[in-house]
Amino acid sequence: MAARCIPGLLAILVVLVSGVTACSFQAGPGPFERPFAASSPWRQEIPPDAEVDPDSAAMIAAVQQKPALNGNLVEYGIPIYRADDDTPTYTVPCTRQDYGICPFAGWPVPIPDGAQPNTGSDGVLVSVAESDGTVFEFWRAAREGDTWTTGFAAVNSLNGSGWGGAATGSGASRLAGVIRVAEIADGEIPHALALQSNNACPAFRPPALKSDGASTRADCIPEGARLQLDPQLDLESLGLSPGELAVGRAMQRYGGYLMDVANTPMSVSFERDRDAGPGELGPTYSDAGFRWDYDAMENIPWDRLRVLK
């Protein structure tokens, strides 16, 4: 929270009337913009003495034969909606009953008018009830008339760890680690990133709760593993676009957690820009130098990634 002092006569009046210091306070980003508790793994910086996994070189070589971190900007971009007390609510059943009890059972699920899941095969949608900090996460959401269904779901808290439920393969919240439109506009991403890979192991490590990985290769990467871009790289010298620079800095400072399976060797989740037209990136991403969906950000030497122990 940043303080801003009030000068002159107004300051004297503030002190006389309220008995408090003559400073007003301007709040920083709220939980919707920066979700999860300060203690969440997603919000922790990587310490300078972080140990590298002994198998790191092999794991990175396997997913970086052609250095790239593909940005899921459009088809698999994450649509994130803010719900308030006036947002309509729905009873939303899960169509995959073999997965267990539907996490939405018993919940009035708020879904803003006009909300749409992403167009990728996972049909993701996230709706955040800001009044009580509840995060409703859809996998394969669908609407027919006035009825919503979801393949499966998760319910998490904005004040929680960012891990819980079955909306992703590792048990990470579908909101966790997503690069937000406003973060790209600001040029700063203050959290670890949500990564996916086609070389994810069936095994997992904390903070992951499970894994949907199927790779049996010796160089597969466990879900829950934390990856970091070499912090010794001088990103400023590489002629990066503003978007690439923001992503690269975040991967040096916070890293990213492998939290789901993808069809690409390595990808990262972005919020879907709701100001974008069909199939378009949207003005914020375009202005930051992103060129198309799945932009590889290849000006960053992603072969300098490392898997932390």
Task: List the pLDDT tens digit at each of the 309 positions of the chain.
Answer: 333 333 444 333 333 344 444 443 345 678 899 999 999 999 999 999 999 999 999 999 999 999 999 999 999 999 999 999 999 999 999 999 999 999 999 999 999 999 999 999 999 999 999 999 999 999 999 999 999 999 999 999 999 999 999 999 999 999 999 999 999 999 999 999 999 999 999 999 999 999 999 999 999 999 999 999 999 999 999 999 999 999 999 999 999 999 999 999 999 999 999 999 999 999 999 999 999 999 999 999 999 999 999
Task: Say if CB 307 and CB 227 are below 8 A apart.
Answer: yes
The whole-angstrom separation of Cα 136 and Cα 149 is 13
**Six-digit token string for 149:** 């269904």
- Residue 170: what residue type? S
The whole-angstrom separation of Cα 305 and Cα 60 is 7
Query: What phi-psi label fits residue 195: left (phi over 0), alpha (psi between -120 and 50 degrees) or beta?
Result: beta
The whole-angstrom separation of Cα 215 and Cα 143 is 34
At 28 the pLDDT is 60
Q: What is the pTM of this model?
A: 0.90
Residues 6+ apart with CB under 8 A from 164: 154, 156, 171, 173, 209
Supply the DSSP symbol for 176. T
The whole-angstrom separation of Cα 306 and Cα 304 is 6
> Domain-by-domain residue ranges, the chain?
1-30, 41-77+175-307, 80-157
At 4 the pLDDT is 37
3-class DSSP assignment, residue 229: strand
The whole-angstrom separation of Cα 147 and Cα 8 is 58
